[in-house]
Structure 1
Amino acid sequence: MRLIIIFLFTIQFSYSQIYEVGIAVGGSNFIGDVGNTSFIAPNELLNGIILKWNRSPRHSYRLSILSSKISADDSNSKDPRRLERGLLFKNNLFEISSGMEFTFFDFNLHEAGLKYTPYIFTGIVYTKFDKLGYQNNNISSLGGRTKSLGIPFILGFKYRVLEQLILSAEIGSRYVFSDNIDGSLSNTENYTNFGNINNRDWYVFSLINLSYTFGRKPCYCNY
């Protein structure tokens, strides 16, 4: 009997929270050993989904699945050495990230009235991308895919446009524990490493997310 009561309580609790399912679109740009080093300079499209569990009015658990092409061209750089070198590359990137989102103001969706707040997000990123290598002043595919972990640093702003629709915009950089998204550190026979091998790659996602919220009014607990 006790197990049944616990089970029913668990079901009720799990359905009493606010969840969000959103569609994200935007742009991406690369920061590394090739191309422009500007922090925000999207040059490829991205898309994906973002899921949230609003655990309290001030924090949410979040999972996102995003994909994008990543490219860079030395001709877009302001560095004369890169302009003279003239390298370029394209890659296909897929990421899954999870972590916690914190809002600056209370964002209780069960209260009437205007709701908006800036927010920050961090956690961990799993990134998968094509293997590239550098040879004879050219970056080319080596075939296959490789993967890396990373850390996201995201700043955003969200606003409730309708009772169950949330519109958010964010800019997020990803520090990746790899230096080979651009093929600069392939460590492959007959291929040459280039650039600063002591630095790791970064990429930036700038996106807009429209999410639908659902769930009963929660009883927020102390965790």
Structure 2
Amino acid sequence: MKFKNIFIGIILFNLSPALSWAQTTEVGLNVGAAGYMGDLNQRNILDFSGLAFGGYVKRNFDAYWGVGIHYNYGKIKDNDASSSNADFRARNLNFSTSLHELSILGDFNFLDYFAGGGRRNFSPYIFAGLAGVRFNPKATYQGQEYELRYYNTENVHYKNYAFSIPYGVGIKYRITEKLGLFSQLGYRTAFTDYLDDVGDRYPMTAVYGKVDDNHPVRINLSNPSLNPERMNPGGQRGDHVKKDTYMFFHIGISYTFLSDKCFTF
């Protein structure tokens, strides 16, 4: 509840002054791809694995600075079975999760660009801010899906939401006075190590999935290795990095609402 209240407060604080500055309000929609770096992908910074889309509303203070509220959805996944690393293939973990992210982002244009009347038709830009993300990692073994968070596969009970720090780069291009295009690549350092349900060490005792009509096969969710004797209880299960990273690549379109008042330069 505290997490939700913080973001509601941020939204109201940002939108209240924006309503009186309608001539500088920008909205946008974007589509693209989502990816992840963590215990199942430790090195590939461009490991995009699923669809992403979102939208935003932003207040532009001038041709250079803007602050907006963004919502982004993405789907990420990874699978040890397809890894080039033999140790990962032996570990045999997999996961997938949807990401629901709400963020407040500030961006800075390097050129005096503004879809409502700047002197430049394009500009590279950077952005950073604060976000909250909801996730729910699932794994599939022998055709059966398990919501991993409920099994405490490392004897750790983690929350299904976390704060994250977004940052990235992009480029904007003005089509008309009100319409613009943009493309951006952004990374998020999440304050959790469990986007993939993998964080630290194997538990001392096996953690089995439920067995019922829908799950007839008994699976050790903490250690589904093809060679389980190689994975020692208390041994290292994930990497030593304590924060997972997720990323979005977006292409989008923006629309700026204009009144009789415009920026002066």
Q: TM-score, normalised by structure 1?
A: 0.80
Q: Distance in 2 between matches of 1:44 and 1:71?
A: 7
Question: Is 143-152 or 199-208 further displaced after alignment?
Answer: 143-152
Within 5 Å, which residues of 2 pair with 1:36-51?
37-51=43-57
CA displacement at 1:101 relative to structure 2: 0.5
Cα RMSD after superposing both structures: 3.3
**Percent identity (aligned):** 27
Change (3 A) 1:133 1:180: farther
Q: Which of 1, 26, 37 is the aligned partner of 2:32?
A: 26
Q: Distance in 2 between matches of 1:186 and 1:131?
A: 16
Question: Is 197-206 or 138-147 further displaced after alignment?
Answer: 138-147
Q: Which of 142, 162, 170 is the aligned partner of 1:156?
A: 170
Q: Secondary structure at the match of 1:57?
A: coil
Change (3 A) 1:91 1:161: same
Question: Is 74-83 or 85-94 further displaced after alignment?
Answer: 74-83
Q: Distance in 2 between matches of 1:151 and 1:28?
A: 16
Amino acid at match of 1:34: L
Instruction: Map Cα deviations across residues 59-100 of structure 1 (whole Å, 9 max, x no partner).
Output: 100111011111112244343322332322111110001021
Alignment-derived partner of residue 7 in structure 1:
none
Structure 1: state its 5+ residue gaps.
Answer: 1-9
CA displacement at 1:139 relative to structure 2: 8.8
Indicate whether 1:175 and 2:218 are aligned: no
CA displacement at 1:219 relative to structure 2: 5.0
Change (3 A) 1:179 1:106: same
Kindly indicate whether the alpha-carbon contact (under 8 Å) linking 1:155 and 1:172 is maintained by their aligned counterparts in 2. Answer: yes
Kindly indicate whether the alpha-carbon contact (under 8 Å) linking 1:165 and 1:212 is maintained by their aligned counterparts in 2. Answer: yes
Indicate whether 1:196 and 2:239 are aligned: yes
Q: Which of 206, 211, 222 is the aligned partner of 2:254?
A: 211
Kindly indicate whether the alpha-carbon contact (under 8 Å) linking 2:191 and 2:243 is maintained by their aligned counterparts in 1. Answer: yes
Kindly indicate whether the alpha-carbon contact (under 8 Å) linking 1:15 and 1:215 is maintained by their aligned counterparts in 2. Answer: no
Q: Distance in 2 between matches of 1:160 and 1:72?
A: 37
Residues matched between the structures, number = 210
Kindly indicate whether the alpha-carbon contact (under 8 Å) linking 2:39 and 2:196 is maintained by their aligned counterparts in 1. Answer: yes
Amino acid at match of 1:204: M
Amino acid at match of 1:24: N
Q: Secondary structure at the match of 2:111?
A: coil
Q: Secondary structure at the match of 2:61?
A: strand
Larger strand fraction of residues = 1
Structure 2: state its 5+ residue gaps.
Answer: 1-15, 151-158, 208-221, 223-235
Change (3 A) 1:134 1:182: farther
